[in-house]
Structure 1
Amino acid sequence: MTPRAVAATFLATACLAGPATAGCGDDVAAFRWPDGSTEFKIEIADDAEERARGLMFRESLAPDAGMLFIYERPQGVAFWMKNTLIPLDMIFIGADGRVNGIHSMAVPGDETPIPGPSRTLMVLEIAGGRAAELGLVPGAELRHPRLDQAAALWPCGQP
């Protein structure tokens, strides 16, 4: 294949793949709901040690950033704010990507457990008050490659 043919094939493939996968990477949590949509640049916490540390000791969190806690299977979960220095919103997500609950403005340092709905697969922590600012509400749908794409309400590859 000539260099020109290789370049043309690459560009054609990139153009076809681009929009279908936009907003669907391990480092992006994209949400949609009837009145809006948003994306967060995220870090992943998917093992016990990462989940235990979470966002402890962070002095700030950008408005479009967050940490996505991913569990091996849907289950009951509870969070606390021990050693957490900033207020957080916690977005609880089921196995199909539906937001099943939101705990707003968790208080820094508070060790009171914050339970999520049963059968939670993921929890996204974002800056406190951000969910309300955006209008992000229960029922919103998450698009992320770590969801089972066959079960996801908004699978990767769907606009």
Structure 2
Amino acid sequence: MIGLRAAIACLMVLWTGEAVAACRDDRVNLRNDKSQISFNVELAISPQERARGLMFRETMPQRSGMLFVFDPPQPVAFWMKNTLIPLDIIFLDREGTVVHVHENAIPGDESLIEGGDSIYAVLEINAGLAARYLISPGTEMQHKVFSQGPAIWPC
């Protein structure tokens, strides 16, 4: 007889296409009461990495993204200058909770996209995926960058 935990793990594999892996530098896990999903990510931690971001890239695999880290948390605004692909931009607080989602940012647009006053991390993914996977304020993220703080979903 399969135990409850094994059954839940099997359902997660069927639902998301893969099991949610343990914390890794190159992966984020997101969950809320409606969905759970993982994305392969590149980290942008240094000011130079954050300034370059996803500029000049023509494509990005569907379940991939870039995770920007701002330590300490601070007011954060993004723009799409030199960005060639439409993106959903997901802003998170120090606990790993989504506080704002900007969907379908327009390539090349230089308008500021503000995320909030105390942003610790920002996840950029292909446009349309936030809606597809029901990522909204209150969604929780799991990643190693939240392990030193008051993470809601620790590693």
Q: In which range does the TM-score fall when normalised by the shorter chain? A: 0.7 to 0.9
CA offset at residue 149 of structure 1?
4.5
Moved over 4 A (4+): none
CA distance in 1: counterparts of 2:57 and 2:149, whole angstroms: 36
| Structure 1 contact 91–123 (Cα < 8 Å) conserved | yes
Give distance in 2, aligned partners of 1:101 and 1:79: 13
Structure 1 unaligned residues grouped into runs of 5+? 1-20
- 1:52 alignment partner in structure 2: 51
Percent of counterpart pairs with the same letter?
A: 48
Q: How many pairs align?
A: 136
Give the TM-score, by structure 1 length: 0.83
The corresponding residue for 2:106 is: 107
TM-score, length of structure 2 as denominator length = 0.85
- Listed one character per residue, the Cα deviations across residues 30-86 of structure 1 (whole Å, up to 9, x for unaligned) are 011001100000000001100000000010111100000001111100000000001
Q: Which amino acid aligns with 1:52?
A: A
Q: Which has the larger radius of gyration?
A: 1
d(CA) in 2 for partners of 1:150 and 1:90? 22
Amino acid at match of 1:99: V
Matches within 5 A, 1:44-123: 44-123=43-122
Cα displacement string for residues 76-116 of structure 1 (whole angstroms, at most 9, x for unaligned residues): 00000000001000000000000000000000000011111
Q: For the residues of structure 2 that align with 1:62 and 1:97, how far apart are their CA atoms?
A: 23
Q: Deviations over 1:10-42 (max 9, x none)?
A: xxxxxxxxxxx9331111110110011000000
Asked if the contact 2:93/2:118 (under 8 Å) is kept, the reply is: yes
Q: Name structure 2 gaps, 5 residues minimum.
A: 1-19
Q: Which amino acid aligns with 1:40?
A: F
